[in-house]
A and B are shown apart, each in its own frame.
Chain A
Amino acid sequence: MTDAVAQDEVRQPAKELTVGEDIAIEMDGVHKWYGEFHVLKDINLTVNTGERIVICGPSGSGKSTLIRCINRLEEHQKGKIVVDGNELTGDLKNIELVRREVGMVFQQFNLFPHLTVLENCSLAPIWVRKMRKVDAEEIAMKYLERVRIPEQALKFPGQLSGGQQQRVAIARSLCMSPRIMLFDEPTSALDPEMIKEVLEVMVELAESGMTMICVTHEMGFATAVANRVIFMDFGEIIEQNEPHEFFNNPQHDRTKLFLSQILH
Chain B
Amino acid sequence: MVDAAQTYEAGQHPDLPPPRSEVGVLGWVKHNLFSSPLNAALTILAVWFLWMLLPPLIDWMFLDAVWTADSRKECWAKMEEPEGAACWAFIKGRFQLFVYGFYPHDSRWRVNLSFVLLVMAIVPVLYDKMPGRKFGLWYAMAFPFLAGWLLVGGMETITGLLILAAVEALIGAVLVQLVCKMVFGFSPSYSTVYLANLIGNIAYIVVGNLLAYVIGLILAIVESVFGISLAMVVAIIPFISIISGFFLYAAIFGISISHPEFGPMGIRRAWQLALSAWIVATLIGLVMGIFGDLVFDASAYWNYFGLKVIDTDQFGGILLTLVIGVTGISFSLPIGVLLALGRRSSMPVLRILCVLFIEFIRGVPLIALLFIASSMLNFFLPPGTSFDLLLRVLIMVTLFSAAYIAEVVRGGLQAIPRGQIEAADSLGLTYVKAQALIVLPQALKISIPGIVNTFIGLFKDTTLVLIIGMLDPLGIGRASLADAAWSGLSREVYLFVALFFFICCFSMSRYSLYLEKKLHTGH
Residues of A that sit less than 8 Å from B by CB: 71-73, 96, 99-100, 102-104, 106, 108, 110-114, 123-124, 127-128, 156-159, 172-173, 176
Contacts and interface: CB of A to CB of B under 8 A. Distances in A.
Interface string B411-422: 000000101101
A103 B426 contact: yes
7 contacts: A73-B426, A99-B428, A112-B442, A113-B521, A156-B521, A156-B523, A157-B523
B521 A172 contact: no
A110 B438 CA distance: 11
Given A112-B438, A114-B445, A156-B521, A99 B419 contact: no
Interface stretch (B135-143, B388-396, B429-437): B429-437
B422 A127 contact: no
A123 B442 CA distance: 15
Given A114-B442, A114-B521, A158-B521, A96 B427 contact: no
B419 A113 contact: no
Nearest to B434: A127
Nearest to B439: A112
Contact of B423 (A96, A110, A128, A158): A110
Nearest to A100: B428
Interface in B114-142: none
A71 B523 contact: no
B427 A110 contact: no
Given A106-B419, A112-B420, A123 B427 contact: yes
A195 B64 CA distance: 75
A128 B523 CA distance: 26
Interface residues of B, number: 21
Contact of A113 (B422, B427, B430, B442): B442
Contacts of A159: 522
Contact of B422 (A73, A102, A157, A173): A73
A140 to B, nearest CB: 13
B441 A99 contact: no
Contacts of A106: 419, 422-423
Nearest to A116: B521
A110 B426 CA distance: 11
Contacts, number: 69
Nearest to A123: B437
Contacts of A158: 521-523
Interface of B: 417, 419-420, 422-423, 425-430, 433, 437-438, 441-442, 445, 519, 521-523
Contacts of B417: 108, 110
B162 to A, nearest CB: 31
Contact of B427 (A114, A157, A173): A173
Contact of A99 (B420, B426, B442): B426
Given A114-B521, A158-B523, 15 more contacts: A71-B425, A71-B426, A72-B425, A73-B426, A100-B428, A104-B426, A106-B423, A108-B417, A110-B419, A110-B420, A110-B423, A112-B420, A114-B441, A127-B429, A173-B426
Contact of B428 (A73, A108, A128, A157): A128
A96 B426 contact: no
Contacts of A71: 425-426
A106 B427 CA distance: 12
Contacts of A102: 426
Contacts of A172: 427
B441 to A, nearest CB: 5
Contacts of B427: 99, 103, 123-124, 128, 172-173, 176
Contacts of B419: 106, 108, 110
Given A73-B425, A106-B419, A113-B442, A96 B430 contact: yes
A60 B442 CA distance: 31
A98 to B, nearest CB: 9
Contacts of B523: 113-114, 156-158
Contacts of B425: 71-73, 99
Contact of B522 (A103, A108, A156): A156
A110 B439 CA distance: 12
B409 to A, nearest CB: 16
Contacts of B438: 112
A128 B442 CA distance: 20
A113 B523 CA distance: 7
Among A106, A110, A158, the one with the most B-chain Cβ atoms within 10 Å of its Cβ is A110
B416 to A, nearest CB: 10
When A and B form their complex, which 6 residue pairs have the shortest distance between CB atoms, in order from nearest?
A110-B423, A158-B522, A158-B523, A113-B523, A104-B426, A110-B419
A124 B422 contact: no
Nearest to A96: B428
A100 B433 CA distance: 14
Contacts of B433: 127-128
Contacts of B423: 104, 106, 110-112
B517 to A, nearest CB: 15
Greatest chain A CB density within 10 A among B419, B426, B430 is at B426
Nearest to A156: B521
Nearest to A104: B426
B470 to A, nearest CB: 42
A110 B429 contact: no
Nearest to A112: B438
Nearest to B426: A104
Q: Considering residues A71, A103, A112, A159, which has the most beta carbons from chain B within 10 angstroms of its beta carbon?
A: A112
Residue from the set A96, A99, A172, A173 with the largest chain B CB neighbour count within 10 Å = A99
B521 A124 contact: no
B134 to A, nearest CB: 15
Contacts of A176: 427-428
A108 B420 CA distance: 10
Nearest to B418: A110
A111 to B, nearest CB: 8
Nearest to A175: B427
